[in-house]
Structures are given as C-alpha cells and as structure tokens.
Amino acid sequence: MSDAATGARSLSPARRAWLRFKRNRLGLWSLVLFATLVVLSLLAEVISNDKPLVVRYDGQFYFPLVKTYPEKVFGGDFDTETDYLDPFIRAQFAKPGNWAVFPPNPYGARTINYFAKSPNPSAPSRDNWLGTDDRGRDLLAQLIYGFRVSVLFGLALTAVGTLLGVAAGAVQGFFGGKTDLAFQRFIEVWGSMPELYLLIIFSAIFSPSLALLLVLLSLFGWMGLSDYVRAEFLRNRQLDYVKSARALGVPNMQIIRRHILPNSMVPVVTFLPFRMSGAILALTSLDFLGLGVPPGTPSLGELLSQGKNNIDAWWISISTFGVLVLTLLLLTFMGDALRDALDPRRAEQ
C-alpha cells in the first residue's frame, strides 16, 4: 500500500493504468504507429489522388480537390470532368507560366490508369509504385483507401458492438433473476442463428453497402462481450460500496452509472483492440468471399481475392498481406499491453 504522504497529487485508477501501459514500449510504439497510420489514411485525398492539389493555368488558380472543372477550362474539347492523367492535359500544365502540384501518389481509389505501359495487372514501376491490380487501378492507392475503410469500419463496428454489449450485460447483471434468465435464453437463441447464411441471404435481397454490413454484423457482434459485463455486474452489485449506496437511497440508474459501470469496464477496455482486429478481419473475409462492400469500393479483402485469382501478380498478394499483417499485429500488441496494464494483480503494485 502506498503511503498517503507520498505526494499531494492523487492518480485515478485510469491514469495509473495509462502509466503502466506507457511502460510497455512495444504497446506504446504500436499505438503511436497505428495512430499515425490512421491519421495519414484520413488524409488520403491529399496523399493519393488523381486530381492535383493546386493548378496555375493562364494566370489563375484552380483547386480541383474541392471543385470540379470541365476539360474546356484547361483548353480541352469536352464538357466532362477533366482527366488530369491525360497526357494532353499534362502538356497544357507544362506550358510556360502554368503549373500543377500533384499529390505524392497521383492516383485515386477508383482511378484507372488508361495510359499504363504494360497490360493489367502491371508490375511495380516508376508510374505505379506497387503496380496495378487487374483492372488497372493503382495498388498503393487501393491499399491506402482500403486501409481507411477497414479501420473506420472496424472502429464503428467495435463502438456499436461495445455499446450494445455493455447495455445488455448491465441490464442482465444488475437486475438478475428473471430478467437475467430471459435475456440469457434470448442470447442462446440469437447466438445459434447461422450468421453467414443470413449475410448471404441479405446481400441477395438488399444492395450491398457498408451501412448494411455494419447493421448485420452489429446484430451478432455484441453477444460475447455482454457475458463478461454481466459477470462483472453480478460480482460488483453485491459489493459493500453498492450496498452502501443503496442504503443511502441512491437511485438504481445512478448506482449503475457511478458505481458499477466504471468498475466493470476492465474486460470491455481490454477487449477493444482485439474486437477491432476481429472486425477488420470479418470485413476482409466477407469482401474476399464477395459478400462485403459494393464493387468498386477499395477493400483489402477484394485485393486478396484478386491476388488469389492472379497468383503470378505477386505484388498484389504480398503488399495486401503486408498491410493486413501490420494492422492486425499493431492491434494485438496494443491489446497485450492494455491487458497487462489493466491486470488487477499488477494494479495492486
């Protein structure tokens, strides 16, 4: 037990857990790297895009990133949107007085490079750093946007599943008795539904979209967590500090919110990174099977499936595999560090 005279500043349990987390170098650096990658992928439009960031043409500035300009503006023949990769437009920008600043990787998620020098899928070259996929889209752009979709989807699925799981576990654990019994039986029935078949059926009925996937996966994703939260609630509700609160006449909702919930969050927080990597894997495998995101959406699973179909185009499978492994590994390292930081046996030290 720490002596009460050690210092005036008192650290909350959450803060102490964070300090323990920081002591784990691998976990901390995984968090830093992962956060950097996520922030970079959120800025994907500036990093990898087929539109220039700024264009100077005939003495005027243009910002194609935020505004759509027809080709006529830059001396072309058509009213359609400018294709900035067209050698003619490039030549226009190269005239004296004109210039254009392109992002580091001049391809967007859906850009097809019609001007590639070799047939699709083409191997890594000076134009396409990681090569192109079998439709002629730049692989690096695909990976950046695919990573962003995966991570955002993973975050959303984790958030929804955690909220549902905590709410369901809290209700069962706090009220117990018949409520608990009914809920448990419902979970057993619900959990025995064939998830994959439902997904196949629904993807046949509705047009596939990320939102639909999120709803369908959320419907089943909360069950594992609710059991842990329920167990924590069952344990915590009979502790003396909860009894004291009841003896003070504190209303049920406040007891849950102020007393039991904060003390039941350890399994929830510990599982967050693992749930997230699970969500990313789920999306990837559904995409791989062709049950996931609508066609044309950049997706790691779809790239893996391309890699399988074009086994000689090694750059597709290897780079996608690399991104997936890195993502999942970082999440697992973070999860390990978090689990150690929240371990009650270490928390006593």
For other proteins, the binding residues (CB under 8 A) are 1-2, 4-6, 8-14, 239-241, 243-252, 258-259, 262-263, 349
CB closer to other proteins out of 210 and 245: 245
CB closer to other proteins out of 117 and 235: 235
- Of 10, 20, 99, 2, nearest to 342 (Cα)? 20
CB closer to other proteins out of 10 and 36: 10
β-bridge mates for residue 62, sequence order: 55
CB of 170 to other proteins, least distance (A): 16
CB of 176 to other proteins, least distance (A): 11
CB of 329 to other proteins, least distance (A): 29
Tokens of 137: 């889209």
Contact 267, 228 (CB under 8 A): yes
Q: How many CB atoms lie within 10 A of CB 120?
A: 16
CA dihedral 6, 12, 16, 17 (to 10 degrees): 160
CB of 31 to other proteins, least distance (A): 23
CB closer to other proteins out of 118 and 244: 244
CB closer to other proteins out of 324 and 341: 341
Contact 176, 230 (CB under 8 A): no
Q: What share of the chain is helix, strand, coil (3-state, %, to 5)?
A: 65, 5, 30
In one-letter notation, the amino acid at residue 228 is Y
- Of 118, 101, 105, nearest to 145 (Cα)? 105
CB of 192 to other proteins, least distance (A): 23
Tell me if the bond preceding 121 is cis, omega within 30° of 0.
yes
CB of 169 to other proteins, least distance (A): 18
CB of 231 to other proteins, least distance (A): 17
CB closer to other proteins out of 110 and 246: 246
DSSP per-residue string spanning 257-304: IIIIHHHT-HHHHHHHHHHHHHHHHHHHHHHHHT-SSPTTS--HHHHH
CB of 265 to other proteins, least distance (A): 9
What does DSSP assign to residue 81? B
Rounded-to-integer distance, Cα 268 and Cα 325, Å: 24
CB closer to other proteins out of 117 and 258: 258
CB closer to other proteins out of 54 and 239: 239
**Residue 72, C-beta contacts closer than 8 angstroms, at least 6 positions apart:** 78, 79
In one-letter notation, the amino acid at residue 52 is P
